[in-house]
Chain A
Amino acid sequence: MKLVIRNGRAVDPKNKIDKKVDILIEDGKIVKIGESPKFRPGDVTRSTITIDATGKVVTPGLIDMHTHLREPGREDEETIASGTRAAAQGGFTSICCMPNTQPVVDSVSGVKFILTTASQEGIVNVYPVGSITKGRKGEELAEIGKMRIAGIVGISDDGKPVMNAQIMRRALEYAKMFNLPVISHCEDLNLSTGGVMNEGFTSTVLGLKGIPRQAEEIMVARDIALAELTGGKLHLAHITTRGSVELVRQAKKKRIKVTCETAPHYFSLSEEDVRGYDTNTKINPPLRTKDDIEALCEGLADGTIDCIVSDHAPHLDVEKDLEYNMAPFGIIGLETMVPLIITNLVGKKILNLNQAIAKMTVNPANILGLEKGALSIGSDADLTIIDLNLKKKIDNEFSSQSKNSPFIGMELKGFPVATIVGGKMVMEDGKLV
């Protein structure tokens, strides 16, 4: 099967492309990139499907390296099938799923379950992340090597930190053999215990227990020190504070192997949005302050922050429609991430389009060691088409099974309009195929 994408503005940070091209896809691979006159007769025939991307941006298929698909265990909240549909709707061709399912993905059987289910029911590429420790208990290392052979791309106890520094040290040392990133959820549980929002003036006024920024920063500092000690490959999940950004910036200057990510809600919302006690503002780590947003923007612009991830965390209405203290942490994000980045970063000239796309393509691909994230001849035909000018109000029609989004009702600009996975169109004209 042949597919040609015509007249789009290709933006590929890896190959440093930003120009109008046609892209020819055959049998799931990109076979030609160039201006259409250069296509030879026979390249495009009557049976070739043509996609007109005039006025739109064509990027390498977007990668979200931090999602929660809830299967196995909480199929009421999300499944691999529904989560990948949400991903396709949001413009993502590849996603990583965190292992905090029930049971935890801490062994080969868990990894195989994810990969098998994803290949049968998923509509985008799914890369499992295995846990660092058995049962995410922070006590004994999981079978990291066996899980690597089975197909994991990283290890993480996400949702929880590895509180024991010795175990974290061993994980970084051990995973180094496989060049696997250790994805750290930075939270000192002794400092954060019982907290539901950022600690500060707003938490004082609202009477909600705060989580100090230091709960994150202490662990960021510890893990950087351990990465320096071990030479292991450290990736810091969802960083949110000025202090964390500065620690990572310093570590990178010292050439310590550390990368990090943040999520759109951390630069789009602040602790102020918790006023009103909307439980869709309850997220861990918590929404921070305007000053932190500024620091995150600086970190994104100067490359300190490598990736943007959704941290897609589906929860049901019945779980979220509760008193603030009782509701679970987390929001869905796959379907709002691209417009939030285009509106709040590209639109406000914090990042140019090339930088923004890099944080969802080449950068996560490099961290995870994936042969993805570029428009190269011979590479998998994973592509995303984005309409930078498309304005929409976020409604509560999501492809995700859950609707826990604080962005419902917000008008955003810049939405993905087509998602192509392995040469197959899975989302077209803003609708799942």
Chain B
Amino acid sequence: MRLKNKDLLGLEYLDREEINLILETAKPFKELFTRSVKKVPPLRGKTVVLLFYEPSTRTRTSFELAAKRLSADVLNISASTSSVAKGESLIDTAKTLEAMKADFVVIRHSMAGAPQILARTISASIVNAGDGTHEHPTQGLLDMFTIWEKKGRLSGLKVAIVGDILHSRVARSNIWGLNKMGAKVYVVGPATLIPPRIEQMGVKIFYDLDEIIDELDVINILRIQMERQKENLFPSLREYNEIFGVTDERLKRAKKDLLVMHPGPMNRGIEISSSVAEGSRSVITEQVTNGIAVRMAVLYLLAGGDKRGMKR
């Protein structure tokens, strides 16, 4: 089995089988990391461009490592150093990359839909590394991989996503993916940070975390951005912390094997307490490791690889 499209633009556009394929392909790649030589040859001779219009350390380095461990050549372009700063349009940048025969363009952009524009314009495989408040599919995949690895399944699990859902591409990708895999998804946050009609995506909305904390299998805590306070979306960070912050106290009633996740970077003491972040239920650092394996799987599969090929 192979992926159906040349691009990975969002989890909305993948089906259950494709998500399964990516997760299963990521597994052997993760096993590679325990070896002294972590590099394999499938993308030798291929060029992966990391086109980042938004500052990002975590996602960019994760993609860079993933590409390098697959033996691809990696080119980093960030908005501050490129012709973007000189006012070149996204489409012109895309055409330039096409002319340079890039095989993959991994794009991070502050505006929703930018990867779609690239995918329409050029023949390279486009991987969305986060576009505005639309999607961050590889984050969704690595979150699902982490849950799947720990729990052995996704179907039937109860997953809460807590925080600023409105501005979160991570939330949207998780919702699409988890729903397709048969998990039950709750979103929890201030009413002003819950996007309109999100229940139509197949989630339940809660404004009180304590109401559902005891039944959760997974809690995925989103970063709360300081700017949102200025937009009057909530009155103060300390009020946010009191009502939605995930603390040991709040987790007292939670299941023992609850998984605590966070896509990072964290605001300790605001959406998550330090002791929860460091606690036994936390898989936050493992998410980072899994991110590389999942991104390797995505690049490998988009290059036309299949599961059988990898095992061989």
Instruction: Give which listed residue, A206, A321, A323, contacts B109 with CB less than 8 A.
Output: A323
Verify B113–A323 contact, CB threshold 8 A: yes
Whether A361 is near chain B, meaning CB under 8 Å from some CB there, is: no
B134–chain A nearest beta-carbon distance, Å: 3
For chain B residues 165-211, which have a beta carbon within 8 Å of chain A?
A: 169, 172, 195-198, 200-201
Verify B196–A207 contact, CB threshold 8 A: no
Whether B117 is near chain A, meaning CB under 8 Å from some CB there, is: yes
Whether B233 is near chain A, meaning CB under 8 Å from some CB there, is: no
Q: A205-B172, A207-B172, A323-B117 are in contact. Are A277 and B112 (CB under 8 A)?
A: yes
Return chain A residues, CB-CB under 8 Å to B197. 200-201, 204
Whether A356 is near chain B, meaning CB under 8 Å from some CB there, is: no
A236–chain B nearest beta-carbon distance, Å: 25
Q: A204-B201, A325-B132 are in contact. Are A277 and B195 (CB under 8 A)?
A: no
Question: Which of A205, A208, A326 is packed against the most chain B CB atoms within 10 Å?
Answer: A205
For chain A residues 36-92, which have a beta carbon within 8 Å of chain B?
A: none
A89–chain B nearest beta-carbon distance, Å: 29
Whether B116 is near chain A, meaning CB under 8 Å from some CB there, is: yes
Q: A199-B196, A200-B197, A326-B111 are in contact. Are A207 and B89 (CB under 8 A)?
A: no
- A315-350 CB mask vs B (1 if < 8 Å, else 0) is 000100111111000000000000000000000000
B277–chain A nearest beta-carbon distance, Å: 27
Return chain B residues, CB-CB under 8 Å to A206. 112-113, 134
State the interface size on chain B (CB cutoff 8 A): 24
Q: CA of A206 to CA of B132 in the docked complex: distance in angstroms?
A: 9
Return chain A residues, CB-CB under 8 Å to B200. 201, 204
Verify B196–A204 contact, CB threshold 8 A: yes
A75–chain B nearest beta-carbon distance, Å: 22
A24–chain B nearest beta-carbon distance, Å: 54
B111–chain A nearest beta-carbon distance, Å: 4
- A199-242 CB mask vs B (1 if < 8 Å, else 0) is 11101111110101000000000000000000000000000000
Whether B90 is near chain A, meaning CB under 8 Å from some CB there, is: yes
Whether B12 is near chain A, meaning CB under 8 Å from some CB there, is: yes
Whether B64 is near chain A, meaning CB under 8 Å from some CB there, is: no
For chain B residues 103-157, which have a beta carbon within 8 Å of chain A?
A: 109, 111-114, 116-117, 131-135
Q: CA of A318 to CA of B169 in the docked complex: distance in angstroms?
A: 28
Beta-carbon nearest neighbor of A317 in chain B? B91
Q: CA of A276 to CA of B111 in the docked complex: distance in angstroms?
A: 13
Verify A205–B201 contact, CB threshold 8 A: yes
Return chain A residues, CB-CB under 8 Å to B198. 201, 204
Verify A200–B116 contact, CB threshold 8 A: no
- B79-116 CB mask vs A (1 if < 8 Å, else 0) is 00000000001110000000000000000010111101
Return chain B residues, CB-CB under 8 Å to A325. 111-112, 132
Return chain A residues, CB-CB under 8 Å to B90. 322-323
B169–chain A nearest beta-carbon distance, Å: 6
Q: A201-B200, A205-B12, A207-B132 are in contact. Are A322 and B116 (CB under 8 A)?
A: no
Verify B116–A207 contact, CB threshold 8 A: no
Return chain B residues, CB-CB under 8 Å to A326. 111
Q: CA of A204 to CA of B117 in the docked complex: distance in angstroms?
A: 19
Instruction: Give which listed residue, B116, B135, B196, contacts A203 with CB less than 8 A.
Output: B196
- B14-41 CB mask vs A (1 if < 8 Å, else 0) is 0000000000000000000000000000
Verify B201–A207 contact, CB threshold 8 A: no
Question: Which of A203, A323, A326 is packed against the most chain B CB atoms within 10 Å?
Answer: A323
Q: A321-B91, A323-B111, A324-B111 are in contact. Are A207 and B134 (CB under 8 A)?
A: yes
Verify B112–A207 contact, CB threshold 8 A: yes
Return chain A residues, CB-CB under 8 Å to B116. 276-277
Beta-carbon nearest neighbor of B200 in chain A? A201
Q: CA of A208 to CA of B134 in the docked complex: distance in angstroms?
A: 7
For chain A residues 81-114, which have a beta carbon within 8 Å of chain B?
A: none
Q: CA of A203 to CA of B109 in the docked complex: distance in angstroms?
A: 18
Return chain B residues, CB-CB under 8 Å to A208. 112-113, 132-134
Q: CA of A210 to CA of B197 in the docked complex: distance in angstroms?
A: 12
Return chain B residues, CB-CB under 8 Å to A276. 116
Return chain A residues, CB-CB under 8 Å to B117. 277, 323
Return chain A residues, CB-CB under 8 Å to B132. 207-208, 325
Q: CA of A276 to CA of B201 in the docked complex: distance in angstroms?
A: 18
Q: CA of A67 to CA of B114 in the docked complex: distance in angstroms?
A: 30
For chain A residues 257-294, which have a beta carbon within 8 Å of chain B?
A: 276-277
Verify B133–A207 contact, CB threshold 8 A: yes
Verify B196–A201 contact, CB threshold 8 A: yes
Question: Which of B112, B116, B134 is packed against the most chain A CB atoms within 10 Å?
Answer: B112
Return chain A residues, CB-CB under 8 Å to B169. 207
Q: CA of A321 to CA of B198 in the docked complex: distance in angstroms?
A: 29
B191–chain A nearest beta-carbon distance, Å: 14
Verify A210–B196 contact, CB threshold 8 A: yes
Beta-carbon nearest neighbor of A210 in chain B? B196
Beta-carbon nearest neighbor of B116 in chain A? A277
Q: CA of A325 to CA of B110 in the docked complex: distance in angstroms?
A: 10
Q: CA of A276 to CA of B9 in the docked complex: distance in angstroms?
A: 11
A26–chain B nearest beta-carbon distance, Å: 54
Q: CA of A326 to CA of B109 in the docked complex: distance in angstroms?
A: 13
Return chain B residues, CB-CB under 8 Å to A205. 12, 172, 201
Return chain B residues, CB-CB under 8 Å to A323. 90, 109, 111, 113-114, 117
Verify A318–B134 contact, CB threshold 8 A: no
Return chain A residues, CB-CB under 8 Å to B135. 207
Verify A277–B113 contact, CB threshold 8 A: yes
Beta-carbon nearest neighbor of A208 in chain B? B112
Return chain B residues, CB-CB under 8 Å to A210. 196
Q: CA of A326 to CA of B200 in the docked complex: distance in angstroms?
A: 28
Question: Which of A199, A201, A210 is packed against the most chain B CB atoms within 10 Å?
Answer: A201
Chain A positions within 8 Å of B, measured between CB atoms, are 199-201, 203-208, 210, 212, 276-277, 318, 321-326
Apart from A204-B196, A208-B133: 10 A-B pairs, beta carbons within 8 A: A204-B198, A204-B201, A205-B12, A205-B172, A207-B113, A207-B131, A207-B172, A208-B134, A324-B111, A326-B111
Could you jot down 26 A-B contacts, CB within 8 Å? A199-B196, A201-B198, A201-B200, A203-B196, A204-B195, A204-B196, A204-B197, A204-B200, A204-B201, A206-B113, A207-B132, A207-B133, A207-B172, A208-B113, A208-B132, A210-B196, A277-B113, A277-B116, A323-B90, A323-B109, A323-B113, A323-B117, A324-B112, A324-B113, A325-B111, A325-B112
Chain B positions within 8 Å of A, measured between CB atoms, are 12, 89-91, 109, 111-114, 116-117, 131-135, 169, 172, 195-198, 200-201
Please list the 3 inter-chain residue pairs (A to B) with the smallest Cβ-Cβ separation, ordered nearest first.
A207-B134, A277-B113, A207-B133
